[in-house]
Amino acid sequence: MSVEWVWIETLVRGDEVLRAVRLGCESGEVVEEQLGVPAAEGDLVLGTVFPAFGNAHSHVFHRLLRGRTHADGGNFWSWRDKMYAIAGQLTPDSLERIATACYTEMVASGWGAVGEFHYVHHQPDGTPYPDHDMELALARAAETAGIRLTLLDTCYLAGSIGTGLSAQQRRFGDGRAAQWIARWFSLRERLRADHPQVVLGAALHSVRAVPAAEIAEVTRALPDDVPLHVHLSEQVAENEQSLAAYGRTPTELLADAGALTRRLSVVHATHLSEHDIALLGAAGVHAVFCPTTEADLGDGIGPGIELTAAGALLAIGSDQNAVVDPFLELRGLEAGERLRSQARGRFSPGELTEIGTTAGYASLGLAPPATLGGPFDLVEVDAASVRTAGSHPAQLVLTGTSSDVLRTVVAGRVVYDRENDVARMAQAAAELAVLSAAPSSRAAGISAGRSK
């Protein structure tokens, strides 16, 4: 259902709590805002509303590992082996099915936009598909689910610093930076023709997967307005490898390559030196924290307060999609800071809302949602559930969960309605159950009860 006007009883935007707000929509953007007015006939009437949340980091196919990797313990690297086995089995059809179901879960959780950090480009032997088949599968999935997509097409050239791609990684790679750049520009033309609503961004997988000289080549080749993302210092081992090979930290390597600019988003940024933090802050980058994934994989707790004090902006992402809930990501961010500092209120509720909404959208190359001139993207929250009853509206971000999402509106269209989407959500759940139990999951050594 598309809407022209929405009347909102309570609108929470950052530190603002506004009452009786009418927003007018045209071409998917907010074109008028009226405060302190009654609803008019034909308005979509909503209760307590936030701007839609921006998911700045997703690997959608990782969703197949949810709840299936805990029995054997291990660490990030052992988990990665299971993930590679899943990646090796993907086809355009299965990727579209997984993404459609997971993106449906995202809109039902209040995410209005997603950045898909996508590197499974080619066939398993590394042979290109005829027509950007994997990328177009993601575009179709986002359209079906109703979520905005920033496709972060990822450059992935090496298995690690100084080593080639393994057999499991061949389908990720394009050989050289120049070949990835040519494919990126070809993909841009294809998306403009058939999926113009998709924002095409770019990503460097990591300093492990892209040699230093080719990081610089990619950075120079991309238009200045293209969002650029990179995994950064998620693991101590990455820092050690970079120092051994280059004599510089991953952050210093990016700075030398000219990649540290405002259009850059660094994902995880968990293990940083003081000099790293100063460099990232001076450049005004976004640091995308994924607290539920970083906890699940035992990555560590990143220096969020230090980064913001230095001048960086924080955003959040669902990463491996073991959890798809912006409220829990934001709560995890604040909880990590409290655990590190042994103090409460490290980020105010208003700051957390800005991190989850405006900053997430900015990281994806999008204007602030639910503001004049920005995307008409909203999420209505039940302020009287057993979880939220009694909460001050501004603090719902610290008490609600995705279970409290009543409606999600993207580009002026209701893309999720809890009351009317029961069958749709059941279908997505059934699809994910089937896909998770498919041969691809068994190939990863995963069973319903234990890891082999």
Q: Which residues pair with 30 in a beta bridge?
A: 25
- DSSP labels, 161-188: TTB---GGGGGG--SSHHHHHHHHHHHH
* Active-site entry in 268, 286, 382, 421: 268
Distance, in Å, from the CA atom of 373 to the CA atom of 369, rounded to the nearest integer, reads: 9
Amino acid at 18: L
Give the gyration radius of the chain's Cα atoms. 21
User: What is the DSSP secondary structure assignment for residue 84, as one 8-state letter?
Assistant: H
The tokens for 419 are 């009351």
What are the φ/ψ torsions at residue 313 (nearest 5 degrees)?
Answer: -110, 140
Residue linked to tokens 């709590």: 17
Distance, in Å, from the CA atom of 346 to the CA atom of 51, rounded to the nearest integer, reads: 22
Distances in Å between the alpha carbon of 29 and those of 24, 41, 45, 51, 196? 8, 21, 18, 13, 16
Distance, in Å, from the CA atom of 247 to the CA atom of 128, rounded to the nearest integer, reads: 35
What are the φ/ψ torsions at residue 379 (nearest 5 degrees)?
Answer: -135, 125
* Active-site entry in 319, 325, 404, 421: 319
What are the φ/ψ torsions at residue 73 (nearest 5 degrees)?
Answer: 65, -125
Active site residue 57: no
Distances in Å between the alpha carbon of 435 and those of 95, 156, 183, 213, 264? 10, 26, 29, 39, 34
Task: Please choose, from the candidates 290, 362, 300, 294, the residue with its C-alpha nearest in 3D space to the C-alpha of residue 326.
Answer: 290
Active site residue 268: yes
The tokens for 422 are 């029961």
Would you please indicate which residues are annotated as catalytic (active-site) residues? 268, 319
